[in-house]
Amino acid sequence: MKNIILSQSKLVVAAILLFAFLGVTNSCKKSSDTPGANEVYIENMAFNPKTITVAANTTITWTNKDGVAHTVTSATGLFDSGTISNNGVYSHKFTTAGTYSYICTIHPDMVGTVVVNAN
Ligand SMILES: [Cu+2]
């Protein structure tokens, strides 16, 4: 009888540890934030992904994950976000196939490219 109680309590401990482990791995997944299909994160002074490829008529959304302000500014003047502060977002719909280079005007070393494929 004592052995049964002992093994049951071991089982309970094992179950608690398992749930705790699952909880930890689950929260890790949530915190390792990655941009979605039509999304660019501005983080660590860079555009992520640096090159994004979408179909024509797709709206791309940039989110500034940095503590400092950035811009998303077309090299040809096609689009310009203006200043995007921390957690700010900017969206632009790309209607025409082509390759569009852009920079952050505050940090001109930050460059990105949008490749738009014809539908
Ligand atoms: Cu910047």
Q: Report pLDDT digits (tens) over 12-41.
A: 444 433 345 444 444 444 445 899 999 999
Higher pLDDT, 14 or 118: 118
Query: Which residues have C-beta under 5 Å from ligand 1, the single-atom ion?
Result: 70, 104, 106-107, 110
CB count, 10 Å around CB of 83?
13
Domain boundaries, the chain: 1-32, 39-117
In angstroms, what is the span from residue 43 Cα to ligand 1's centroid?
9
**What CA–CA distance (Å, rounded) separates 82 from 72?**
7
Residue 110 dihedral angles phi and psi, to the nearest 5°: -80, 110
pLDDT digits (tens, 9 = 90+) for 69-117: 999 999 999 999 999 999 999 999 999 999 999 999 999 999 999 999 9
Q: Which fold has domain 39-117?
A: Immunoglobulin-like (2.60.40)
* Predicted local confidence at residue 7, as pLDDT: 57
Q: Contact at 8 Å (CB) between 65 and 105?
A: no
Rounded-to-10 torsion of CA 108, 96, 63, 110: -20
Q: What is the pTM of this model?
A: 0.74
From 108, 15, 21, 96, select the one nearest 70 (Cα to Cα).
108
